[in-house]
Amino acid sequence: MTIALPARAKLNLDLEVIKRRDDGYHDLRSTMQTIDLHDLLLIAKADATELTVSGLTLGNNDNSVLQAHQALERATRRNLPASFHLHKRIPPGSGMGGASSDAAAALRGLQALFGLEIDIAHVAQDIGSDVPFFLHGGRALVEGRGERVQPLPAPEPMWFAIAWPGIELSTRDVYAAWDQVKGEAPNHLRAAAERVEPRLLEFAKRLGGGWQLTGSGSAFFKAVQTEQEAREAVKGLDGWTAVSRAAG
């Protein structure tokens, strides 16, 4: 049996950094929304664990699917040999949570495939800040390091124009820059991201008004009411663009 799971991207409709914690991480408050743009993860039982990848090139970090697999093996104290194929559509280092969503999909898929009676929410917290949110998706208020997730009512039909400058940003570097420059609504990390990568300033200037950064960057989005408005917003833009809608 092979399980196929969409690993959806997310947008931060707002993002407030509260403070830097004593452990070096940061507390935040953010309204997150999953969208129908997604990676696709295929999982099947196997004699030995392996991962193949197609689509967009992954970033430099160790793959989060294998990290989730290893974390679940440690938590259950058993071997869970599985074959993974990941088709990447979410740009890496874009602030749309691709790696975290892939990890959450791996946890959900492995739990179903092996019939595991375990609370994967606890495992998710140890993998990455956004992974607990992606276990459920939809719209939610996310607080703390990302471990406190409060589901919110589904929005009215909402479309998004998305533009990515092809720049992969390090979340760690952006938060370190926030310690110096702070930020303001709607996304407290934008000034920090522009300090880490000054080319974002020129990219944002080309986009024009109404666009905002998602997560720690580097993708920008514009919320609109219709698909046609979203398509008009990305028309004529160079580089990677997408039109997507809010998804549960």
Burial 94-128 (b: 16+ CB within 10 A, else e): bbbbbbbbbbbbbbbbbbebbebeeebeebbbebb
The separation between the first and the last C-alpha atoms of the chain, rounded to the nearest angstrom, is 25
Catalytic residue among 10, 39, 88, 102: 10
The answer to whether 130 is a known catalytic residue is: yes
The answer to whether 235 is a known catalytic residue is: no
Pseudo-torsion of CA 103, 146, 164, 154, nearest 10°?
90
Q: How far apart are CA 108 and CA 89, in angstroms?
A: 19
* CA–centroid distance for 233 within its chain: 22
Q: How far apart are CA 245 and CA 232, in angstroms?
A: 15
Contact by Cβ (8 Å): 16, 191: no
Q: How far apart are CA 200 and CA 212, in angstroms?
A: 11
Catalytic residue among 88, 102, 130, 222: 130
Pseudo-torsion of CA 8, 245, 185, 145, nearest 10°?
-20
Q: How far apart are CA 68 and CA 107, in angstroms?
A: 6
Distances in Å between the Cα of 108 and the Cα atoms of 57, 85, 96 are 24, 15, 19
Where in the sequence numbering do the catalytic residues fall?
Answer: 10, 130
